[in-house]
Structure 1
Amino acid sequence: MENAAQEKQTHVTIQGAQQSISPDSVGEAIGNQESSVPLLHRNKRWLLMALFSVLVLFGQSAATLLGRLYYEKGGNSKWLSAFIQGAGFPILLPFLYNTKDRKNNSSEQTKTPSPLVLGSIYMVLGTLLAAVGMLFSVGLLYLPVSTFSLISATQLGFNALFSFFLNSQKFTPLIVNSLVLLTTSSALLVLQNDDSSGSSKSYKGKYAIGFICTLLAAALFSLILSLSQLAINKILKRQTVKELLDFLIYQSLVASCILLVGLFASGEWRTLSAEMNKFELGKASYTMTLLWIAVCWQIFSIGMVGLILKVSSLFANVISTLGLPIVPILAVFIFKEKMSGVKAVGMLLAIWGFMSYIYQHYLDDLVSKSGKKDVDSKEISLMQN
């Protein structure tokens, strides 16, 4: 009798609990669950995207301007300029040491690629990175900053092509609008008179060489970004701080070794002492200029790889292209280049294109959250039945 009464009471309790669960209560429960999550945690992805974007914009602008300053004030070594772009990787080693012993459960469950595979990835990317550094150095030497930035902007078009084939990048009207605006904003710089540059050196006879080298560098850099995304997502499959630092350090090490060999093989190393003595700003400024070029390129690299990890290689290139019109604007004050309405319009178009791309990711984020809510609702409905 007592057991029957207890079973009846239990049945009534369970039935009452089931009846109390309704679609409204499900939505309210999900809403309460989301509201209980700290705002900082919910917006962590956007905060990281903003941080990496700032690193890209600052690193690229500062490194490009310092590289031009090196040539303007007496520097002339293309191999040294290229070598410095990747030689700053030792500053990342302390961070690698601090994160070396930290474990991540998701990464532990992922099979680690063989040393041969990892070595091949770093060798290929490092070799391409060395080629990009050398080509960009030649372009920056022979071209005014405005023209250099214009040609560099073509990397966005190259990256869109590589991303479509290598990374299965989907294109929406907002993304296409962003690509067109960002490319157009930098293309407007071609309307600028090259003589407006404050350069004290004249390389008019080698303009074609600078043009071709910068164009090839833009294409190879875009290929590096797409290959990096492909390697991270399909081979490495681990997206921790340690893997990010490994990715930067090893490919930079390969690129630096290649360029260092080129520096000695070309014989340019013999002229470095005289170059330092003749540098217009002094020996200390010569050393500090090269040092900060190296640091700024590493800051840029951290931001680019971070954006590839969190979003895509195309988005990373969008941020990089957004920074290209910034350089000519800053060059107005640093190298006394002329400011015109065309450059101002180019900047506005770049910002418009950037906001268009960001808005697309905002919409994608809303769709992702909506899909997650639908899945949670279906799971609770199944529990109901």
Structure 2
Amino acid sequence: MSLDIERAEETQFPTSTNVDNTKLEDATPPKRKINWLLIAMNVTCVGLGTIGGPLMVRLYFLHGGSKRWLSSWLQTAGFPILLGPLSFLYMKHRARGQRFFAEPKLMIASAVIGVIIGLDNFMYSHGLSVLPVSTSSLLFSTQLAFTAFFALIIVRQRFTPYSVNAVVLMTLGSVLLGLRKGGDRPANVSNGEYMVGFIITIGAAALIGFVLPCVELAYAKASKAITYPVVLQFQLGVTFFATVFSTIGMIAHKDFSAISREAKAYTIGEAKYYLVIVWGAILFQLVYIGSLGLVFCTSSLFTGVVTATLLPLTEIAAVIFFKEKFTGEKGMSLALCLWGFMSYFYGAYIMERKQRKAQEEEPK
């Protein structure tokens, strides 16, 4: 693990006062070395969290859990996990006399983004409390369309026909679910509650689609080079302030005092209640570690594509573990999402070949 951290910290994000100069061409940055080890680590974190996190939240609600603020709080409460690698890197930088701490304006940005993430987590938890995991996951994959839209406006993301095709296909895959709204509605959920959950989940997808380009903009606008230790500090700030936001909501609704009562009444046992809570916090923390790390390594659009591709796998896991219905619409949605994923990466492969050929033809 320490070896991975040492390799990761060598990667730097170029800084500029003009975002266009630092923009990545879809997934392949032309002006800086790609750290494939760091990308693999972050994709793994996103994968584990994106698939496992929603399953833990739905498991919490299925067996007697009812506190939406607690569920949203758990999505970022695992931030102390970051203190381990940060402490290691701090001691290493201090011994070498190197700069370690992130600049104040970057941490202010992390605080603002953290509050937005806190709101997004509550909206996502509300959706999961009434929707099947398979439905909420595919609805949440619409975040790719929102990410593409906001990336175009905020960081001037350049698109290729392949990336546009990927966004359209993945968005259509999610829209298909709306054609059968209520068809997989849980027995204890009314039509009104189902539709509210449907709309709020789309809203949560839009909000996270706005956040990812904002993170990329914060990195690009930094006056000093963004190293991986700085990214970890940024992640710590985001998740800390998101947790503060959710903590205020929990205090207002007296959720902390209700935890012990809810645990005793949990239908599969008190011990499993706490296991669900702890593992939920860990898995969701992996999502934020991986997502913000991927923005650092590549771009907000690439991060959105990875997340949107993993969400259908969450659907499959929900069908396996929770025996949820796998309708024809869900099957078509899954196929469109996977098609979009392949389109995006084929486009990235073509762009990389063109860039490599252009570099080889340049006079030395």
What are the residue-to-residue correspondences of 1:314-353 with 2, within 5 Å?
314-353=301-340
Equivalent-residue separation in structure 2 for 1:86 and 1:74 (angstroms): 22
Letter in 2 for 1:55: C
Q: 1:211 to 1:186 in 2, by over 3 A?
A: closer
Relative to the length of structure 2, the TM-score reads 0.83
Residue 293 of structure 2: which of 306, 316, 319 is its match?
A: 306
Which residue of 2 is the match for residue 355 of structure 1? 342
Which residue of 1 is the match for residue 51 of structure 2? 61
What are the residue-to-residue correspondences of 1:1-385 with 2, within 5 Å?
45-103=35-93, 114-115=103-104, 117-192=105-180, 194-196=182-184, 199=186, 201-235=188-222, 238-375=225-362, 378-379=363-364
Report how far residue 361 of structure 1 moved.
1.7
Letter in 2 for 1:62: G
State the Cα deviation string for residues 122-145 of structure 1 (Å, max 9, x = none).
221111011111111111112232
Report how far residue 171 of structure 1 moved.
1.2
Q: 1:268 to 1:200 in 2, by over 3 A?
A: farther
Contact in 1 for aligned 2:75/2:121 (Cα 8 Å) = yes
Q: Cα RMSD over matched residues?
A: 2.6
Gap runs ≥5 in structure 2: 1-32
Q: 1:203 to 1:65 in 2, by over 3 A?
A: farther
Equivalent-residue separation in structure 2 for 1:126 and 1:171 (angstroms): 28
Contact in 2 for aligned 1:60/1:320 (Cα 8 Å) = yes
Contact in 2 for aligned 1:163/1:314 (Cα 8 Å) = yes
Letter in 2 for 1:166: I
Report how far residue 193 of structure 1 moved.
6.2
Equivalent-residue separation in structure 2 for 1:264 and 1:336 (angstroms): 35
Superposition misfits of 4+ residues, deviation over 4 angstroms:
none
Equivalent-residue separation in structure 1 for 2:291 and 2:197 (angstroms): 25
Report how far residue 118 of structure 1 moved.
2.9
Gap runs ≥5 in structure 1: 1-42, 380-385
State the Cα deviation string for residues 80-129 of structure 1 (Å, max 9, x = none).
0010000001111111111124459xxx799x8752x2342122111101
Equivalent-residue separation in structure 2 for 1:257 and 1:109 (angstroms): 28
State the Cα deviation string for residues 192-236 of structure 1 (Å, max 9, x = none).
564535x46324332233233222211111111010000012216
Report how far residue 191 of structure 1 moved.
4.3
Equivalent-residue separation in structure 1 for 2:123 and 2:276 (angstroms): 20
Secondary structure of the corresponding residue to residue 159 of structure 2: coil
Contact in 2 for aligned 1:147/1:190 (Cα 8 Å) = no
Contact in 2 for aligned 1:149/1:186 (Cα 8 Å) = no
Which residue of 2 is the match for residue 16 of structure 1? none
Report how far residue 328 of structure 1 moved.
2.1
Which residue of 2 is the match for residue 29 of structure 1? none
Q: 1:373 to 1:359 in 2, by over 3 A?
A: same
Letter in 1 for 2:262: E
Which residue of 1 is the match for residue 21 of structure 2? none
Which has the greater radius of gyration? 1
Task: Provide the identity percentage.
Answer: 35
State the Cα deviation string for residues 123-180 of structure 1 (Å, max 9, x = none).
2111101111111111111223233223312211111111001111111111111111
Equivalent-residue separation in structure 2 for 1:183 and 1:131 (angstroms): 23
